[in-house]
Amino acid sequence: PETELSVTAELVPTSSWNISSELDKDSYLTLDEPMNNITTSLGQTAELHCKVSGNPPPTIRWFKNDAPVVQEPRRISFRATNYGSRLRIRNLDTTDTGYFQCVATNGKKVVSTTGVLFVKFGKP
């Protein structure tokens, strides 16, 4: 049985390996800019930007204090942008304070960046 195994291994065409490495050499994923920290006041709107680029185009997820960010109609939303992704939180409350992280992955690599949103009482 051992000889059969070695024969099977020799039958793997080397060209398939070359094709995958050709594809890999064009793939990349970079964090273009670290996320900004924001300090703002109650009732304001905050925007956090996740600036990444990659090939294949990355999938971006948002986390607050390590839990996935849940979108709320007309208040919390995130969307893909030409630079990556944007998270917008309207009508801020002090409970929105926390560590916000975006994680981008394109199947080959993963990059992430974290920013702090601090919502304070009082006038802006």
Kindly tell me if the per-residue pLDDT of 111 is higher than 70: yes
pTM over 0.85: no
Instruction: Check whether 80 has a pLDDT greater than 80.
Output: yes
More confident residue, 10 or 31: 31
Contacts by 35-39, CB closer than 8 A, 24 or more apart: 35/100, 35/101, 35/102, 35/113, 35/114, 35/115, 36/115, 37/115, 37/116, 37/117, 37/118, 38/115, 38/116, 38/117, 38/118, 39/118, 39/120
Does 8 score more than 60 pLDDT? Answer: no
pLDDT digit string, tens, across residues 22-51: 556 788 999 999 999 999 999 999 999 999
